[in-house]
Amino acid sequence: MISVDGVEADFQHVEFPKKTYEQDYSRSTYVEAKNTLVLTDRLAHTVHMYDTVKGTSRAVTNGNIQEPRGACVGPGDTVMVCSFKMHSVVHLTVDGDILCTYPVNMTFPCSICVSRDKTRLAVSNSVIGDKKLQLYKILPTLNN
Protein backbone atom coordinates (compact mmCIF):
# COMPACT_ATOMS: atom_id res chain seq x y z
CA MET A 1 0.00 0.00 0.00
CA ILE A 2 1.33 3.46 -0.87
CA SER A 3 -0.12 6.62 0.67
CA VAL A 4 -0.66 9.86 -1.25
CA ASP A 5 2.56 11.10 0.35
CA GLY A 6 4.46 8.12 -1.10
CA VAL A 7 4.84 6.22 2.19
CA GLU A 8 4.82 2.44 1.74
CA ALA A 9 3.08 0.14 4.22
CA ASP A 10 1.93 -3.48 4.31
CA PHE A 11 -1.64 -4.65 4.78
CA GLN A 12 -0.68 -6.07 8.16
CA HIS A 13 -3.97 -7.78 8.97
CA VAL A 14 -4.73 -9.34 5.60
CA GLU A 15 -3.99 -12.96 4.76
CA PHE A 16 -4.04 -13.36 0.98
CA PRO A 17 -4.55 -16.76 -0.63
CA LYS A 18 -1.48 -18.40 -2.12
CA LYS A 19 -2.67 -17.97 -5.70
CA THR A 20 -0.87 -16.62 -8.74
CA TYR A 21 -2.79 -14.80 -11.46
CA GLU A 22 -1.70 -14.42 -15.03
CA GLN A 23 -2.10 -11.09 -16.81
CA ASP A 24 -5.72 -9.89 -17.02
CA TYR A 25 -7.08 -12.59 -14.70
CA SER A 26 -7.40 -10.32 -11.67
CA ARG A 27 -7.93 -6.60 -11.15
CA SER A 28 -8.16 -4.58 -7.97
CA THR A 29 -9.37 -1.40 -6.34
CA TYR A 30 -9.24 0.00 -2.82
CA VAL A 31 -12.18 1.61 -1.01
CA GLU A 32 -10.22 3.88 1.30
CA ALA A 33 -13.17 5.07 3.42
CA LYS A 34 -14.08 1.43 4.18
CA ASN A 35 -10.49 0.09 4.41
CA THR A 36 -11.45 -2.54 1.85
CA LEU A 37 -9.24 -4.04 -0.83
CA VAL A 38 -11.19 -5.57 -3.72
CA LEU A 39 -9.75 -8.23 -6.04
CA THR A 40 -11.54 -9.86 -8.95
CA ASP A 41 -10.89 -13.51 -9.83
CA ARG A 42 -11.91 -13.94 -13.44
CA LEU A 43 -11.76 -17.74 -13.66
CA ALA A 44 -13.43 -18.36 -10.26
CA HIS A 45 -16.26 -15.88 -11.09
CA THR A 46 -15.60 -14.26 -7.72
CA VAL A 47 -15.03 -10.82 -6.21
CA HIS A 48 -12.91 -10.91 -3.04
CA MET A 49 -13.35 -8.19 -0.38
CA TYR A 50 -10.57 -7.79 2.21
CA ASP A 51 -11.06 -5.56 5.26
CA THR A 52 -7.50 -4.34 5.75
CA VAL A 53 -8.06 -3.24 9.36
CA LYS A 54 -10.07 -6.16 10.78
CA GLY A 55 -8.25 -8.75 8.70
CA THR A 56 -11.51 -10.31 7.51
CA SER A 57 -12.39 -11.32 3.99
CA ARG A 58 -15.38 -12.47 2.00
CA ALA A 59 -15.77 -14.02 -1.41
CA VAL A 60 -18.75 -12.83 -3.43
CA THR A 61 -20.14 -15.18 -6.05
CA ASN A 62 -23.42 -14.73 -7.87
CA GLY A 63 -24.91 -15.74 -11.19
CA ASN A 64 -24.60 -12.10 -12.31
CA ILE A 65 -20.84 -12.14 -11.68
CA GLN A 66 -19.35 -14.07 -14.59
CA GLU A 67 -15.69 -13.49 -15.36
CA PRO A 68 -15.38 -10.27 -13.34
CA ARG A 69 -12.82 -7.95 -14.81
CA GLY A 70 -12.32 -4.29 -13.90
CA ALA A 71 -13.41 -2.88 -10.56
CA CYS A 72 -13.67 0.64 -9.18
CA VAL A 73 -14.96 2.58 -6.21
CA GLY A 74 -18.54 3.67 -6.83
CA PRO A 75 -20.90 6.17 -5.23
CA GLY A 76 -21.28 5.96 -1.45
CA ASP A 77 -18.07 3.91 -1.05
CA THR A 78 -19.51 0.97 -2.95
CA VAL A 79 -17.83 -1.17 -5.59
CA MET A 80 -18.64 -1.48 -9.29
CA VAL A 81 -17.37 -4.51 -11.21
CA CYS A 82 -17.50 -5.41 -14.90
CA SER A 83 -19.19 -8.78 -15.45
CA PHE A 84 -17.45 -9.74 -18.68
CA LYS A 85 -19.64 -12.69 -19.71
CA MET A 86 -22.94 -11.11 -18.58
CA HIS A 87 -22.29 -7.84 -20.51
CA SER A 88 -23.12 -5.84 -17.40
CA VAL A 89 -21.84 -3.93 -14.38
CA VAL A 90 -22.53 -5.31 -10.90
CA HIS A 91 -22.89 -2.78 -8.07
CA LEU A 92 -21.91 -4.13 -4.62
CA THR A 93 -21.42 -2.96 -1.07
CA VAL A 94 -18.06 -3.65 0.58
CA ASP A 95 -19.92 -6.22 2.70
CA GLY A 96 -20.57 -8.18 -0.48
CA ASP A 97 -24.26 -7.40 -0.92
CA ILE A 98 -25.35 -6.91 -4.52
CA LEU A 99 -27.20 -3.62 -4.91
CA CYS A 100 -28.02 -3.88 -8.60
CA THR A 101 -26.89 -5.21 -11.95
CA TYR A 102 -26.79 -2.76 -14.86
CA PRO A 103 -26.72 -4.03 -18.45
CA VAL A 104 -24.32 -2.07 -20.64
CA ASN A 105 -24.62 -1.42 -24.35
CA MET A 106 -21.54 -3.45 -25.30
CA THR A 107 -20.21 -6.97 -25.26
CA PHE A 108 -17.50 -8.04 -22.85
CA PRO A 109 -17.02 -4.95 -20.63
CA CYS A 110 -13.60 -5.10 -19.01
CA SER A 111 -12.56 -1.68 -17.66
CA ILE A 112 -14.51 0.70 -15.48
CA CYS A 113 -14.05 3.96 -13.59
CA VAL A 114 -16.14 6.59 -11.83
CA SER A 115 -15.42 10.32 -12.00
CA ARG A 116 -14.07 12.07 -8.91
CA ASP A 117 -17.37 13.87 -8.36
CA LYS A 118 -19.21 10.50 -8.64
CA THR A 119 -21.50 11.77 -11.43
CA ARG A 120 -20.14 9.79 -14.40
CA LEU A 121 -19.35 6.15 -15.05
CA ALA A 122 -17.05 5.07 -17.89
CA VAL A 123 -17.01 1.48 -19.17
CA SER A 124 -14.93 0.04 -22.01
CA ASN A 125 -14.73 -3.37 -23.62
CA SER A 126 -12.11 -5.47 -25.36
CA VAL A 127 -13.77 -6.72 -28.53
CA ILE A 128 -11.51 -6.59 -31.55
CA GLY A 129 -13.33 -4.70 -34.29
CA ASP A 130 -16.07 -3.45 -31.96
CA LYS A 131 -14.26 -1.59 -29.16
CA LYS A 132 -16.39 0.87 -27.24
CA LEU A 133 -16.12 3.41 -24.49
CA GLN A 134 -19.50 4.22 -22.95
CA LEU A 135 -20.15 7.11 -20.56
CA TYR A 136 -23.11 6.94 -18.20
CA LYS A 137 -24.60 9.55 -15.92
CA ILE A 138 -24.92 8.45 -12.30
CA LEU A 139 -28.24 9.58 -10.89
CA PRO A 140 -28.17 11.50 -7.58
CA THR A 141 -30.30 8.78 -5.94
CA LEU A 142 -27.38 6.34 -6.43
CA ASN A 143 -24.91 8.86 -5.10
CA ASN A 144 -26.20 8.82 -1.51
Write down all domains in the chain, each with its CATH number in brackets: 28-143 (2.130.10.10)
Per-residue pLDDT of the chain (144 residues; tens, 9 = 90+): 677 788 777 666 677 777 888 888 999 999 999 999 999 999 999 999 999 888 889 999 999 999 999 999 999 999 999 999 999 999 999 999 999 999 999 999 999 999 999 999 999 998 888 999 999 998 876 444
How many Cβ atoms from other residues are within 10 Å of residue 34's Cβ?
A: 19
pTM, rounded to two decimals: 0.86
Judge whether 78 and 62 are in contact, CB under 8 Å. Answer: no
Taking phi over 0 as left and psi of -120 to 50 as alpha, with beta for the rest, 142 belongs to alpha
